[in-house]
Amino acid sequence: MEIHNTTEDLVFSTISEICASIEKSGNPDKLCLCDQCRINAACFVLNRIPPHYIISNRGAARIEQETISRQQKEADVVSLVFEALKRVNHNQRPNSDHTNGSAKVAKKGPVFNIPTIIGRAFDGTKFSPLAGVNVELLRDRKLVEMKNRNWQNPCTLTSNTQGTFTFWPESIPAKEAGSRENFEYSVKIEVPGFETMVHFFQIPVISEINDAESFSMDRTFKLPDLYLFPPGEDED
């Protein structure tokens, strides 16, 4: 069964229309309208309005009939989009390319789609989440390239993510679909006053015909919680 959130359609189409209007007017406020900032604006709006799911064409037809409520929702979305574009403009991702250059082209042929890697890092003396710390994902002692520019490596821990770090590594070419291989990675965390943490692990992956183009929480690899300690102290 497939379900569809029609609110996403409304938000993305509204952002496209508003950005086109801003560009046509000469962009007097000098807002950044790159793809990355548009995606960030869409997330801002979608987190502030309820979704509306349908599973059939009758559901879509019913939405069109709900004229009054739809018009109010459209007005709310327009207002939120303008707010989002202004907020995003003042809080741009520092590691993102704010240009409208071409996105990565999906790999052709069989590939190993590496799952999203999720973990948490803590101060082992206080059992509190780390913040303001960079976490590196390495393979063969080199920083691993990420799937797209929305994912950073190193990943910087912030206070509102409670010590959680995430990576989505770029896929790796395979000779054929259906083959299995273990890929070795390591997570490295360096914090002043603590021993350097290096955690090694393997991810078993079966190659697929197509390169994964969308992120899914169904495809994740969870690491054990990592604790950092001052030199000379061991974890109990």
pLDDT tens per residue, range 170-205: 999 999 999 999 999 999 999 999 999 999 999 999
Give the pTM.
0.63
| Mean pLDDT (the chain, rounded) | 82
Residue 83 CA to residue 116 CA, distance in Å, equals 31
Cβ pair 17, 74 in contact under 8 A: no
How many angstroms separate the CA atoms of 152 and 193, rounded?
Answer: 25
Class of domain 111-228: mainly beta
Residues 35-92: pLDDT tens digits? 778 888 888 888 888 887 776 554 444 444 455 456 767 888 899 999 988 888 876 5
**Domain coordinates in residue numbering, the chain:** 4-90, 111-228
CA distance 14 to 71: 13
CB 206 within 8 A of CB 199: no
Using CA atoms, how far apart are residues 112 and 187, in angstroms rounded to an integer?
20
- CA trace torsion 65, 67, 68, 73 (10° rounding): 110
